[in-house]
Amino acid sequence: MKRKLYMSAPLPFVGQKRMFAREFIKVLEQFKDCTVFVDLFGGSGLLSHITKRMRPDAKVVYNDFDNYRKRLENIPRTNLLLADFRRLAEGVPRHKPITGDARERILERIAQEEKECGYVDYITISSSLMFSMKYRMSLDGIRKEVLYNNIRKADYALCDDYLEGLEITGRDYREVFNEYKDMPNVVFLVDPPYLCTDVTTYSMYWRLSDYLDVLTVLNGHSFVYFTSNKSSIVELCQWMGRNRTMGDPFEGCVKSEFNAHMNYNAGYTDMMLYKHRNGPRTNSAA
């Protein structure tokens, strides 16, 4: 029986690769002799799903660090929640703010769901109560936002077959990489959170060094790597390639920091680093 091929993730997910789906299928043709595909940053599972459908003979490892599978398991409850939202927002025009009693009732319904069930798929409901690509991960976060009637009109389809055939784990990508790095005929699918983009919906905190650490898994292995022009990571690597002997210019520097605040909830840290090449100056007698 022919299995369904999903070309987009069943539930919203920041950074899912639906726009790359058809091109990714073409890329998989370049790895006909490979028998193991390891999706280190599995995200929505779309790359793993497509790989398994296109290569049913291969072992496909989906590293579900963000627990997307739990969101899939809770689709029936999420559909019930959205159905209540539609009822509570009745009379509010599409794409207009939900205010007053309707807003309070929706917030109360979310609180009830969290209390009674212990779980709310905040990413999915955010996509119905806010505008595209804006997500909040808690009830307190949603309370701070203007809510809009962008509520999905139809239920999300059940998708019990979406992760079928995958070997699923949920660990730090380095641990998964170390398990498979010495295997023959392995391809690593590498889709980390993008540098200079919002990563609040991911179950991790990322610094520049974390983005650069990911590049170490590419060395000496077959891979498919995703990035964005916002990150400038390709340009950075090209620059390092042209300046191979430079090393760390900040090695041995003294660092001073100053915490600055733009407003009540936003701030940044200014840094000053200095190093005297010939050592600190001293006053000496003539």
pLDDT score of 103: 97
Task: Report CA-CA distances (Å) from 209 to 30, 162, 203, 206, 226.
Answer: 31, 34, 17, 8, 17
CA-based nearest residue to 103, from 138, 142, 137, 147:
147
| pLDDT (0 to 100) of residue 239 | 77
pLDDT of residue 58: 96
pLDDT at residue 267 in the model: 66
Place of tokens 């779309």: 46
Report yes or no: 44 and 13 within 8 Å, Cβ to Cβ: yes
Q: Please tell me the predicted confidence (pLDDT) of residue 268.
A: 61
In single-letter form, the type of residue at position 205 comes to Y
Helices 75-88, 100-117: axis angle to 10 degrees equals 160
Q: Write down all domains in the chain, each with its CATH number in brackets.
A: 18-66+159-242 (3.40.50.150), 70-143 (no CATH)
In a structure prediction context, what are the per-residue pLDDT tens digits for the chain, which is 286 residues long? 678 999 999 999 877 778 888 999 999 998 988 899 999 999 999 999 999 999 999 999 999 999 999 999 999 999 999 999 999 999 999 999 999 999 999 999 999 999 999 999 999 999 999 987 788 999 999 999 999 999 999 999 999 999 999 999 999 999 999 999 999 999 999 988 765 444 454 555 567 788 888 888 888 889 998 876 666 677 777 777 888 887 777 677 776 566 766 555 566 666 656 544 655 555 544 4
What separation, in Å, do the N-terminal and C-terminal C-alpha atoms of the chain show?
93
Report the predicted TM-score, pTM, of the whole model to 2 decimal places.
0.82
